[in-house]
A and B are shown apart, each in its own frame.
Chain A
Amino acid sequence: MGAVTLTPPLLLDRVRLQQGGRTILEDLSGSFQPGSLTALVGANGTGKTTLLRAIAGLHKLAGGRIEGGGPQRIALLPQGSQLDRGFPISCLDLVTLAAPRLGWFRGATPAQRQLALEALDRVGLAGLEGRSLQALSAGQFQRLLFARTMMQDAPVVLLDEPFTAVDTATAAHLLSVLQDWHAQGRTLIVVLHDMKLVQRHFPRTLLLTGDGHAVWGATAAVAPRLAA
């Protein structure tokens, strides 16, 4: 995966979000600059996942607008995926299916297969391309989903609690993948709970405070609110 060409920022303008008739986020404005690395934090139920889904275009806004998104530019990796691990598909096929411009009917090109193999290699699953999903551990499965996200080659990547329910070695490995994406100039928004991780690796933080408001800025500036 090479460097990403400069893209317009992801702009949030007075965004209002509702979930089950209840307003969970009000008047959120700001922008994610191209190539920025932002941690999205807040207690459970403050709307982190809903905000990610809204940015990905999967949750209707109750007000305001979001610019610079759209399915062609955004890759979303949802949390603790409820996918069927017994589904009869191989690791290589799963990753290849995510190739942009694959279309529905043509076969994958050798170049696309090669990219899928490289993605599997990067997440530490080299040699397992022929494995079926049911033969994978939880950590390996999350690595596989990272490889699929890599395959999407999107300028904006949204990750929802990517390190939950995986072992420390896997978390460290996947964090390095995430830093690759950052170095390539992709815009990253990552939902996290581990504040140490946020303070060490994420320059910017968007904190949802739970009363419908947010604190958004450099992690150092938001940090005093994080402990609370």
Chain B
Amino acid sequence: MLDLLVSPFAMGFMRRALAGCLALSVAAPPLGVFLVLRRMSLMSDVLQHGVVPGIAVGVAVAGLSLWAMGLGGLAAGLAIALIAGWLARRTGGREDSQLAGMYLLALAAGVAMISMQRSIDLTHLLFGNVLAVDDTALFGMAGVATVTLPVLALIWRPLVLESFDPGFMAATGGRGGLWHLIFLVLVVLCVVAGFVALGTLMSVGLMMLPAIAARHWSASLAGQVRVSVLLAVLASFCGLTISYHLDIPTGPAIVMTAGGLWVLSMLTGPYASLWRRAAARA
């Protein structure tokens, strides 16, 4: 049994993937907690689809360079975040339908562009390829985590206030848009950093699912953040192990594990879970 858990990590590429995923597990879920609180879960979908055309452009320009793909993804993610924000302000309301429109368009364009190039495997790009996690990818994941955590700590208080009551923030002269923008940059960074190991379509899973699950384990923001990190670490480790033994892509393996933890939390967690609701009614 122990051997089953340890043996995958005898391989160098598995150790690199584990180290990278653990770094992202510490950085991404706290952002997910804020995305949930800001009712922006859909935004994470938009961003993950939005980076695909950027990566495609990166490949077209510089070939299979992780730097080019990463920078392309980053630029596209930021652009789509800004456009979404601008559209929401400009047209007022109905933000969800516009976001849906944008992510469908971005994904279709991205997939079309990737398919035209033939040098890159679409499945690997969308769902992750653990074999491709080289030192550059690992440094990318660890570097993003290293930047994300201190920046999140610095903007924590205004971000909390702006998430809870943007009206109050505006009325007291706070620059709500600035904190929102810094936060979005962090989210895009984490989505892009995860794409090699997890795939663009799955890297948001490690951000959102532990965050959604954490709501069932704590009533305080700090508590939810801690639980979300713990769940993400667990999902990364178990997901990579499953991916190795069953030979399925890492992204879906990790996200399915995280999803399983979410379902478990929703059923049995101490806060607002189905079990709690049933107990309260009985």
Binding site for B on A (CB under 8 A): 56-58, 70-72, 74-76, 78, 81, 83-84, 87-90, 94, 97-98, 104-105, 132, 134, 148, 152
> Is there a chain A Cβ closer than 8 Å to B220's Cβ?
yes
A94 to chain B: closest CB distance in Å? 8
Binding site for A on B (CB under 8 A): 37, 39, 154-155, 157-158, 160-161, 163-165, 167-168, 170-173, 215, 218-221, 223-224
Q: Are A97 and B160 in contact (CB under 8 A)?
A: yes
Q: Which residues of B contact A104 (CB under 8 A)?
A: 155, 157-158
Which residue of the partner chain A has the closest CB to B161? A97
Contact A87-B219, Cβ < 8 Å, known A71-B172, A104-B157, A105-B157: no
Q: Which residues of B contact A90 (CB under 8 A)?
A: 220
Contact A87-B164, Cβ < 8 Å, known A97-B157, A105-B154, A134-B219: yes
A76 to chain B: closest CB distance in Å? 5
Q: Are A58 and B219 in contact (CB under 8 A)?
A: no
Contact A88-B157, Cβ < 8 Å, known A71-B173, A72-B173, A83-B164: no
A142 to chain B: closest CB distance in Å? 14
Q: Determine which residue in A57, A81, A84 has the highest number of CB atoms from chain B within 10 A of its CB, and name it.
A: A84
Q: Which residues of A contact B220 (CB under 8 A)?
A: 88-90, 132
Q: Are A56 and B160 in contact (CB under 8 A)?
A: no
Q: Are A88 and B224 in contact (CB under 8 A)?
A: yes
Q: Which 5 A-B pairs have the closest CB atoms?
A: A71-B173, A88-B221, A76-B171, A132-B219, A104-B158
B72 to chain A: closest CB distance in Å? 33
B266 to chain A: closest CB distance in Å? 15
Contact A71-B171, Cβ < 8 Å, known A83-B165, A88-B219, A132-B219: yes
A46 to chain B: closest CB distance in Å? 21
Which residue of the partner chain B has the closest CB to A56? B171
Which residue of the partner chain B has the closest CB to A154? B172
Tell which of B164, B171, B172, B221 touches A84, judged by Cβ atoms closer than 8 Å.
B164
Which residue of the partner chain A has the closest CB to B154? A105
Q: Are A89 and B221 in contact (CB under 8 A)?
A: yes
Q: How far is the CA of A224 from the CA of B171 in the complex (A)?
A: 35
Q: Are B170 and A58 in contact (CB under 8 A)?
A: yes
Q: How far is the CA of A94 from the CA of B165 in the complex (A)?
A: 10
Q: Which residues of B contact A152 (CB under 8 A)?
A: 172
Q: Are B171 and A74 in contact (CB under 8 A)?
A: yes
Tell which of A70, A87, A148 touches B37, judged by Cβ atoms closer than 8 Å.
A87
Q: Which residues of B contact A74 (CB under 8 A)?
A: 171
Q: Which residues of A contact B215 (CB under 8 A)?
A: 88
Q: Can you list 19 A-B pairs, Cβ within 8 angstroms, ordered by A?
A: A58-B167, A70-B173, A71-B171, A78-B167, A81-B167, A84-B37, A84-B39, A84-B164, A87-B164, A88-B218, A88-B223, A89-B220, A94-B164, A97-B160, A97-B161, A132-B219, A132-B220, A134-B219, A152-B172
Which residue of the partner chain B has the closest CB to A100? B172
Q: Which residues of A contact B173 (CB under 8 A)?
A: 70-72
Q: How far is the CA of A132 from the CA of B215 in the complex (A)?
A: 13
B215 to chain A: closest CB distance in Å? 8
Q: Which residues of B contact A84 (CB under 8 A)?
A: 37, 39, 164
Q: Are B164 and A58 in contact (CB under 8 A)?
A: no
Q: How far is the CA of A72 from the CA of B172 in the complex (A)?
A: 7
Other than A84-B37, A87-B37, give 13 A-B pairs with Cβ distance below 8 A. Answer: A71-B172, A71-B173, A75-B171, A81-B167, A83-B164, A87-B163, A88-B37, A88-B218, A88-B223, A88-B224, A89-B160, A97-B161, A152-B172
Q: Which residues of A contact B221 (CB under 8 A)?
A: 88-89
Tell which of A56, A75, A89, A105 touches B164, judged by Cβ atoms closer than 8 Å.
A89
Which residue of the partner chain B has the closest CB to A88? B221
Which residue of the partner chain A has the closest CB to B224? A88
Q: Which residues of B contact A76 (CB under 8 A)?
A: 171
Q: Which residues of B contact A134 (CB under 8 A)?
A: 219
Q: How far is the CA of A70 from the CA of B223 in the complex (A)?
A: 37
Which residue of the partner chain A has the closest CB to B222? A88
Which residue of the partner chain B has the closest CB to A97? B161
Q: Which residues of A contact B171 (CB under 8 A)?
A: 56-58, 71, 74-76
B34 to chain A: closest CB distance in Å? 11
A83 to chain B: closest CB distance in Å? 6
Which residue of the partner chain B has the closest CB to A82? B167
B149 to chain A: closest CB distance in Å? 15
